[in-house]
Chain A
Amino acid sequence: MTPQPPPRTFIVHVEDRPGVLSRVISLFRRRAYNIDSLTVANTENASLSRITLVMAADEREARLLEANLYKLIEVLYVEHATPQGQVSRELALIKVRASEETRPAVLQVCEVFRARAIDVTPTSMVMELTGAPDKIDGLIEMLRPHGIIELARTGTVAMARGPQSPLTALLETPPPGKAA
């Protein structure tokens, strides 16, 4: 059996137009890939959006997907990020059972993970946590015995380290994926 390929992060810089997201996602859909996480929002430039997409793919698949993403007219630049070269964060809201007796224990765990309580009722709390995805996984595991009522995760957003934006570079030279 072939081992499951590692998760990869693609950061896709696109024009902010109707239908762009479905074009991008359609590429993954037609190859029957399962997307682990997807986040989309505007950027500092109102005409551009940024898609961060995490999925399992081997090296060859990743390269082909990148080339196919570049075939979309609205795609400006694709970053094929590596864990070493990027920072990535995710936001989670976790609604957990917490009675008067268990509340201190819940808060104690959350303090270790630097999560914040943003809503409290006599029987529940909503915690907010930002961090790397595996840190969020860790908190969820710790809270699970208390009883998780509801869980909302945003999916990963990622950014390359260092002073440059790939779009700054794009202004000067064509992106590597577009040249021979």
Chain B
Amino acid sequence: MTRPGASPKTEQLTPGSGLSPSGSTPERVPGTAKCTGAEIVWDVLASEGVDVVFGYPGGAIMPIYDAMHQRSIRHVLVRHEQGAAHMADGYARASGKVGVCLATSGPGATNLVTGIATAMLDSSPIVCITGQVSSSLLGSDAFQEVDITGVTLPITKHNYLVTRAEDIAPTLREAFFIARSGRPGPVLVDITKDAQQATTDAALPPRPVLRSGYRPDLSPSEASLERAAELIAAAERPLIFCGHGIVKAEASALLMELVEKTGIPVASTLLGLGAFPALHPLSLGMMGMHGEAWVNNSIQESDLIIALGMRFDDRVTGNLKTFARKAKKIHAEIDPSEVNKNVTVDVALTGDLHKTLTGLLPRIQRRTCTRWVEHINSLKGTASVRDIQYMPHNGRLHAAHVIHDLWWLTQGKATMVTDVGQHQMWEAQYYRHERPRQLITSGGLGTMGFALPAAIGARFAKPEEEIWLVVGDGGFQMTASELSTCAQEGIKLNVAIINNGYLGLVRQLQQLFYDNRYSATPLHNPDFVKLAEAHGLMGLRVSRREEIPDAVAQARSSPGTTVIDFRVEQEDVVYPMVPAGADLDDMIRRPEPGNEAQGTRQWTSGAV
């Protein structure tokens, strides 16, 4: 059969980073002489524009590590393969390029799993290259053998087992193309040791041969664009939802154009933060479980939702039965399987957001939403007064203060990486993210231990930028061994541990819904200052708000990674909160001033 996809447009096929070897020219011209499978791996990486890989060697990937000599691609030696996958992910999220990690077979490969699943749930393009036992041993339970393609089947966009040297180049080419195109995602390439060692003279294919079943290049129909424009023109209380897809599609400028033309306010998902500038007058901030009440109430009152590159996750919608019942819904989404999955929509704009917005904008009439925006703004009043940030403080340290002061002291310009938990929600609420890729956080999988390795990855993507990672005392200890990587690689990061001595978000649920029974959430922590010093890094401790500026200044001026242990109020709760499964506007609100440690357990529905 002729491949239906055999002759599509060239721009569909060309990998984004270019095909010619960049500064990192290999010693040999690929394809001109016999070379090993392992050498081909590096040739393809170089020609795909890869400048750094994160990995950990081992028996089954030794040929690839051996062939690394004399290559100009930088290799970062991690302390655990989970770190390698998160670093590749952090690199991808910060740069928009494909992140690459290497691991050996068996335990090396299985250690990648959490990182791969994290990338999958947040559509992050990474390519994981794993060594595998020789093909003659496949399936024999050989030493360090594990069926990693089987293991990662549900958590990769696609994966491969390569057993012949001549298949390596075309497979890796295809892997990069699949990882970065369409809805991006992780791709794993498992290469047997004999394939790495075998020689071949197969030339490096200039571009991936498109598989007939893979068609990432979707665009919405003219009819649905027309219908969307009609709905937008007719709506009185419209809202835009800004999701991660805006970041992935590099569509922030088009979103801004849409907002400037229509005056429609923008609510953001956690992963959409920064894709629309937080300080813009029409930016409402984060929606959903820990979104502000005025955002969630506006959603419930709106008559049109324009969801751009988000997937109506349960953390966003609350109870689906009551979610935005009055609103018609337009859903612009690149993955057809996300359309009508959680929320039934009136218009589906299936395709790349860049194309969708380019097609939509000329069809839209200039308009305003003044009364609607005034109404939303009127909802902010009392909620803001109850905000811990505006309360008189006694010098003690609340996490919200730390985040707010970090924002202030870094002039809002730092790239922020967070872990998962209370601190993540406070970061999302109190740092003002002004540009895409400014916030790097694990949304879909909620992976504790993500922040430190992801920040290391981001460091390589943005060598010039100030990077702060905000991390809880629990999550930090899951991957704290990567501090050693920071020290060895000479990496400059600023680590803010929000230390409350608890697994805070779980404790919060115990506090609110399990009668203060703190089952397995108190943490006995190491001395984080000494831990940093043990790695040859600087460690600081802050326990009063007055001490924040000095500590931050010291961290910023230090050439190496600095760890600041912020000892915050132990039983602070993230407010507001929509309990899991509750209606979106049925929120637990911020407590009365002066009562912040206890919080209000009173349920207030509806109006502020």
* Chain A residues within CB distance 8 Å of chain B: 14-15, 18-19, 22-23, 26, 30, 45, 47-48, 60, 63-64, 67-68, 70-76, 167, 170-171, 174, 177-180
B350 nearest CB neighbor, chain A only: A180
Contacts A22-B150, A64-B340 hold; do A72 and B213 have CB atoms under 8 A apart? Answer: yes
B213 → A minimal CB distance (Å): 5
Q: How many A-B residue pairs have CB under 8 A?
A: 66
* New A-B pairs, 7, CB < 8 Å, besides A18-B161, A171-B1, A179-B218: A15-B213, A23-B153, A45-B1, A73-B211, A76-B213, A177-B336, A180-B349
Complex formed: what's the CA distance from A127 to B350 in Å? 52
**Which of B178, B335, B336, B339 is most buried by chain A, counting CB atoms within 10 A of its CB?**
B336
B1 touches A48 (CB 8 A): yes
Residues from chain A with a CB closer than 8 A to the CB of B224 are 180
Complex formed: what's the CA distance from A14 to B218 in Å? 21
Scoring B residues 247 to 284 as 1 if CB is less than 8 Å from chain A, else 0, what string do you get? 00000000000000000000000000000000000000
B211 touches A15 (CB 8 A): yes
B2 touches A171 (CB 8 A): yes
Scoring B residues 152 to 171 as 1 if CB is less than 8 Å from chain A, else 0, what string do you get? 01100010010000000000
A64 touches B341 (CB 8 A): yes
A104 → B minimal CB distance (Å): 51
3 tightest A-B CB contacts, nearest first: A67-B337, A180-B350, A180-B220
Complex formed: what's the CA distance from A16 to B350 in Å? 29
Residues from chain A with a CB closer than 8 A to the CB of B219 are 180
A175 nearest CB neighbor, chain B only: B215
A30 touches B178 (CB 8 A): no
B174 nearest CB neighbor, chain A only: A73
B389 interfacial by beta-carbon distance below 8 Å: no
Residues from chain B with a CB closer than 8 A to the CB of A71 are 335, 337
B158 nearest CB neighbor, chain A only: A73
A178 touches B149 (CB 8 A): no
**29 contacts across the A-B interface (CB closer than 8 A):** A14-B213, A15-B211, A15-B212, A15-B213, A18-B161, A19-B149, A23-B153, A26-B153, A45-B1, A47-B1, A60-B340, A64-B340, A64-B341, A67-B336, A68-B337, A72-B213, A73-B158, A73-B213, A75-B213, A170-B212, A171-B4, A174-B4, A174-B215, A178-B336, A179-B221, A180-B218, A180-B219, A180-B220, A180-B221
B108 interfacial by beta-carbon distance below 8 Å: no
A62 → B minimal CB distance (Å): 12
* B window 1-22: CB within 8 A of A: 1-2, 4
B153 nearest CB neighbor, chain A only: A26
> Which of A22, A60, A68, A70 is B153 in contact with, Cβ under 8 Å?
A22
A64 touches B220 (CB 8 A): no
Residues from chain B with a CB closer than 8 A to the CB of A171 are 1-2, 4
A4 → B minimal CB distance (Å): 22
B214 interfacial by beta-carbon distance below 8 Å: yes
* Chain B residues within CB distance 8 Å of chain A: 1-2, 4, 149-150, 153-154, 158, 161, 178, 211-215, 218-221, 224, 335-337, 339-341, 348-351
Complex formed: what's the CA distance from A26 to B337 in Å? 16
A23 → B minimal CB distance (Å): 6
A76 touches B212 (CB 8 A): yes
B478 → A minimal CB distance (Å): 26
A26 nearest CB neighbor, chain B only: B153
B335 nearest CB neighbor, chain A only: A71
B337 touches A70 (CB 8 A): yes
A167 → B minimal CB distance (Å): 7
B341 touches A178 (CB 8 A): no
Contacts A22-B150, A26-B153 hold; do A73 and B214 have CB atoms under 8 A apart? Answer: yes
Residues from chain B with a CB closer than 8 A to the CB of A70 are 213, 336-337
Residues from chain A with a CB closer than 8 A to the CB of B349 are 180
Complex formed: what's the CA distance from A41 to B341 in Å? 31
**Which of B153, B220, B221, B224 is most buried by chain A, counting CB atoms within 10 A of its CB?**
B153
B1 nearest CB neighbor, chain A only: A45
A77 nearest CB neighbor, chain B only: B213
Complex formed: what's the CA distance from A170 to B340 in Å? 25
Contacts A74-B211, A180-B348, A180-B350 hold; do A170 and B4 have CB atoms under 8 A apart? Answer: yes
Complex formed: what's the CA distance from A76 to B213 in Å? 4
A36 → B minimal CB distance (Å): 22
Complex formed: what's the CA distance from A180 to B219 in Å? 6
Residues from chain A with a CB closer than 8 A to the CB of B348 are 180
Residues from chain B with a CB closer than 8 A to the CB of A19 are 149, 161
B209 → A minimal CB distance (Å): 12
Complex formed: what's the CA distance from A179 to B349 in Å? 10
B8 → A minimal CB distance (Å): 10
Complex formed: what's the CA distance from A179 to B221 in Å? 8
Residues from chain A with a CB closer than 8 A to the CB of B335 are 71
Residues from chain B with a CB closer than 8 A to the CB of A15 are 211-213
B187 nearest CB neighbor, chain A only: A73
Complex formed: what's the CA distance from A179 to B214 in Å? 12
Complex formed: what's the CA distance from A72 to B221 in Å? 23
B340 touches A63 (CB 8 A): yes
**Which of A15, A73, A75, A174 is most buried by chain B, counting CB atoms within 10 A of its CB?**
A73
Residues from chain B with a CB closer than 8 A to the CB of A26 are 153-154
> Which of A47, A67, A75, A174 is B339 in contact with, Cβ under 8 Å?
A67
Complex formed: what's the CA distance from A71 to B150 in Å? 17
A30 nearest CB neighbor, chain B only: B154
Residues from chain B with a CB closer than 8 A to the CB of A68 are 337
B295 → A minimal CB distance (Å): 28
B212 → A minimal CB distance (Å): 6
Complex formed: what's the CA distance from A23 to B178 in Å? 16
A74 → B minimal CB distance (Å): 6
A178 touches B218 (CB 8 A): yes
Contacts A70-B337, A74-B213, A180-B221 hold; do A167 and B149 have CB atoms under 8 A apart? Answer: no
B150 nearest CB neighbor, chain A only: A22
Residues from chain B with a CB closer than 8 A to the CB of A72 are 213
B183 nearest CB neighbor, chain A only: A71
A67 nearest CB neighbor, chain B only: B337
Complex formed: what's the CA distance from A70 to B339 in Å? 13
B211 nearest CB neighbor, chain A only: A73
Complex formed: what's the CA distance from A170 to B220 in Å? 19
> Which of B1, B153, B161, B340 is A167 in contact with, Cβ under 8 Å?
B1
**Which of A14, A67, A74, A180 is most buried by chain B, counting CB atoms within 10 A of its CB?**
A180
